[in-house]
Structure 1
Amino acid sequence: MDSFVDEPRGRVRICCTPIFAQSVLLPVINAFNRRYRKVRFSLDINPYGLSQYCRYDLIINAETSYQPQENPTLPLVKRNLLTEPFVLVASTDYLTARQPIHHPEQLQEHTCLYADSLTHSRQWAFSKESQVRLINISDNLEVSDTNLLFDAAKMGMGIAYLPRYVVESSIRSGQLEKLLPDYQTAHWMLNLYYPEVRQMDQGCVLFKDFFLSTYRDQLNKPSRLSRLVPE
């Protein structure tokens, strides 16, 4: 009888950036609920959870290395989940009918696909020989969903600046081509934020630990990155 009385319950309020919610977060919640059936969840899928952090128990938020979004005074614990370089890509169909790209400034003459949730500005960073260049792009297509932007790049609608794990399988298959390989890019960093454990109720702490353990197990598998974003 005690096991029923002591079964964790409550509600976990999560804000998650769109790129991560469907492919990673939702399956973890499903697995957690099979074990703890009385814990409920509220999901807010948007990339700006830190601006209203008091509304949430857990925030999964992304930032770029050249333009971090984090407020250093936030009273939250920060755990890095993933750090990946951006990769500049386009489809063969797009590139066939256009001039080759040899340096970043030429991007201003091309159709660029932009997601504010990824870079938070209309600038893409490149560096070579310690010289950093921030290239202002024209937002020929702006979307809020990274998977939609990824699909647009594969359809030949323009050039995209996406985290490596999103595009690496498509580069290997030849569906997308990596551009400007001699240049380094910014890094995309996905972080988990939460209050000090003493401020969290039992259900939130259990889910936070379960999430980190499950995610860590996924990263240790050989196919760890290909499973994070659906094809």
Structure 2
Amino acid sequence: MLDKVVFFLHVVRTGSISEAAKHNSISPSAASRWLNELEENMGVSLLKRTTRKITPTQAGQRLFDRFSLLHTQIDDVFNEVQNMSSEDRGTIKIASTPLFAKHYLSQIIGEYLQEHPSINFVVLETAFEVDHVHDVDFAIRANATYRGFQDKDSLLVKRSLLREPLMACCSPGYIEKNGKPIVPDDLKHHRCLYASTLVGGNRWIFELDGEYSTVEIAQTVEADDSEILKNIALNGGGIAYLPLSLISHEFDKKTLQPVLENYVSSQFELNLYFKPRKYMPARCANFKDYLIERVPEIERLKQQGSPHGRYANKSEDMAKIIQ
């Protein structure tokens, strides 16, 4: 009965029976059966189902409101007991941007498992927000640093992990066919590739001699994964605005060329979101400390191997202004 009520909570939170079924590791047929059995035991209808959405009935909303608090308290009890163990064990769920997952998180988890073999990890690669409080222990998101950006109000703790300078770039073939932008306004007449999760929208910011230019670029391609944008740029699809660490190797091989390189470009910031420590199991608190310690160490090693440090230094100066 308790499992079915917890499953019902996830249905209401996600608005999807299939998503809740995945979260609870049950089949779609079992999910429907659980809901029917729960409604039969309660003697009331708990959900209103249409072809477009699922919403709780009045009785379902009451069950959700009352049991959500109890479920949180039960989790706290389990965490307290588990924290009495001398060895970290259990599951850590992380939602991360694809860029961070590929270039940082995979290495960090691999290292951590060598010392903590009883920990299990569930990693969700997504550039969008998730229901942090209920579905994951940590969320790693890219936030814009353009002027006027404000993070959403949240009950979660936010910790900055790193900042990446952004650089406009394109293939030599694209320049041959379309010419090279000389000033930021020229971008309005070019095919532009961007990730709104990196720059907060279709606004690219450049600075030269203290003068700032904000350009609303033509939205040719928007993608969540920066690797996809890089590949499109490599194949002559347009001008991309990407983290320097992602494209420095292509600069070395001259398969991509910097655009507007005399200008200081913007930055994006990768932030870690998590619950306050008093609500955090020991396994999560220990991993958080390790993650925060390792990210700058890995970043330093990456920068030591990059010949493009001059761009990074210029972007650091701009970040102080556009925060």
TM-score, normalised on structure 1?
Answer: 0.85
Match 2:97 to one of 17, 23, 26: 17
Residues 225 and 148 of structure 1, relative CA distance in 2, 3 Å threshold: farther
The residue aligned with 2:176 is: 96
Counterparts of 1:197-212 in structure 2 under 5 Å?
197-212=277-292
Residues 200 and 225 of structure 1, relative CA distance in 2, 3 Å threshold: farther
The residue aligned with 1:52 is: 131
Matched, 1:157 2:241: no
The residue aligned with 1:81 is: 161
> Displacement, 1:161?
0.7
Residues 219 and 225 of structure 1 are in contact (CA less than 8 Å); yes or no, is this contact kept in structure 2? no
RMSD value, Cα: 2.1
How many residues end up aligned between the 2 structures? 220
The residue aligned with 2:301 is: 221
Match 1:40 to one of 108, 115, 120: 120
Q: In structure 2, what residue type is equivalent to 1:157?
A: G
Residues 139 and 274 of structure 2 are in contact (CA less than 8 Å); yes or no, is this contact kept in structure 1? yes
Q: In structure 2, what residue type is equivalent to 1:9?
A: R
Counterparts of 1:184-195 in structure 2 under 5 Å?
184-195=264-275
- How far, CA to CA, are the matches of 1:118 and 1:65 in structure 2? 9
- How far, CA to CA, are the matches of 2:219 and 2:101 in structure 1? 25
The structure with the largest alpha-carbon Rg is: 2
> Displacement, 1:82?
1.5
SS of structure 2 residue aligned to 1:203: helix
- How far, CA to CA, are the matches of 2:181 and 2:296 in structure 1? 38
Percent of aligned pairs with the same residue? 28
Q: In structure 1, what residue type is equivalent to 2:151?
A: E
Q: In structure 2, what residue type is equivalent to 1:149?
A: L
TM-score, normalised on structure 2?
Answer: 0.62
Residues 13 and 225 of structure 1, relative CA distance in 2, 3 Å threshold: farther
Q: In structure 2, what residue type is equivalent to 1:181?
A: E
Residues 216 and 107 of structure 1, relative CA distance in 2, 3 Å threshold: closer
Residues 124 and 137 of structure 1 are in contact (CA less than 8 Å); yes or no, is this contact kept in structure 2? yes
Matched, 1:127 2:192: no
Q: After the TM superposition, which segments of 4 or more aligned residues of structure 1 sit over 4 Å from their partners?
A: 222-226
Residues 83 and 187 of structure 1 are in contact (CA less than 8 Å); yes or no, is this contact kept in structure 2? yes
Match 1:182 to one of 236, 243, 262: 262
Matched, 1:70 2:160: no
Higher relative contact order (CA 8 A, sep 6+): 1
Which sits farther off after the overlay, 62-71 or 13-22? Answer: 62-71
Q: In structure 2, what residue type is equivalent to 1:70?
A: D
SS of structure 2 residue aligned to 1:121: coil
> Displacement, 1:222?
5.8
Match 2:225 to one of 139, 145, 168: 145
Residues 118 and 216 of structure 1, relative CA distance in 2, 3 Å threshold: closer
- How far, CA to CA, are the matches of 2:103 and 2:204 in structure 1? 26
Which sits farther off after the overlay, 80-89 or 210-219? Answer: 210-219
> Displacement, 1:66?
0.6
> Structure 2 unaligned runs (5+)?
1-84, 307-323
Residues 193 and 239 of structure 2 are in contact (CA less than 8 Å); yes or no, is this contact kept in structure 1? yes
- How far, CA to CA, are the matches of 2:304 and 2:262 in structure 1? 26
Q: In structure 1, what residue type is equivalent to 2:145?
A: S
More helix by share: 2
- How far, CA to CA, are the matches of 1:182 and 1:216 in structure 2? 27
Residues 69 and 27 of structure 1, relative CA distance in 2, 3 Å threshold: farther
